């Protein structure tokens, strides 16, 4: 396991369709993040998991978005009834949190979503 992997790398979907993205974190990492990045902006926080528990969600994460991390391993991010405004790069990251110390997060290559 050499890093965080995301699948697919690119997704083109029609407005109104559902899409699901997968993230496989670094295997020993207990924390997993989802971020969204639009053109010309830095990544914006969507949600994070500590092991299998989803502990925080951004207000950016509307009811159409849902994320899971069964068994604290891989994670999925689903967007229902996609809208053109959902077009963005979706980034997954993972980190190993020990004793509350801040540590770096390692990112995957992202899934670029285009809603047409």
Partner 1 sequence: AQKITQTQPGMFVQEKEAVTLDCTYDTSDPSYGLFWYKQPSSGEMIFLIYQGSYDQQNATEGRYSLNFQKARKSANLVISASQLGDSAMYFCAMRANTGNQFYFGTGTSLTVIP
Residue ranges binding partner 1 (CB under 8 A): 33, 35, 40-45, 48, 55-56, 58, 89, 91, 93, 100-110, 112
User: Least distance (Å) from partner 1 to the CB of residue 16?
Assistant: 26
Measured CA to CA in angstroms, residue 41 lies from 7, 31, 35, 76, 116 at distances of 22, 24, 12, 23, 21
Nearer of residues 48 and 65 to partner 1, judged by Cβ: 48
Closest CA to 11 of 116, 108, 94, 85: 116
Nearer to partner 1, 80 or 112 (CB): 112
In the complex, the smallest distance separating the C-beta of residue 19 from partner 1, rounded to whole angstroms, is: 17
Separation of alpha carbons 96 and 44, rounded Å: 20
């Amino acid at each position: 396991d050499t890093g965080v992997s995301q699948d697919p790398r690119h997704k083109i979907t029609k407005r109104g369709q559902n899409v699901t993205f997968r993230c496989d974190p670094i295997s020993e990492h207990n924390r997993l993040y989802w971020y969204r990045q639009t053109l010309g902006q830095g990544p914006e926080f969507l949600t994070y998991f500590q092991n299998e528990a989803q502990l925080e969600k951004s207000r950016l994460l509307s009811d159409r978005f849902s994320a899971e991390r069964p068994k604290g391993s891989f994670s999925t991010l689903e967007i229902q009834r996609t809208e053109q405004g959902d077009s963005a790069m979706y980034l997954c990251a993972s980190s190993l949190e020990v004793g509350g110390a801040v540590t770096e997060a390692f990112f995957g290559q992202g899934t670029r979503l285009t809603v047409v």
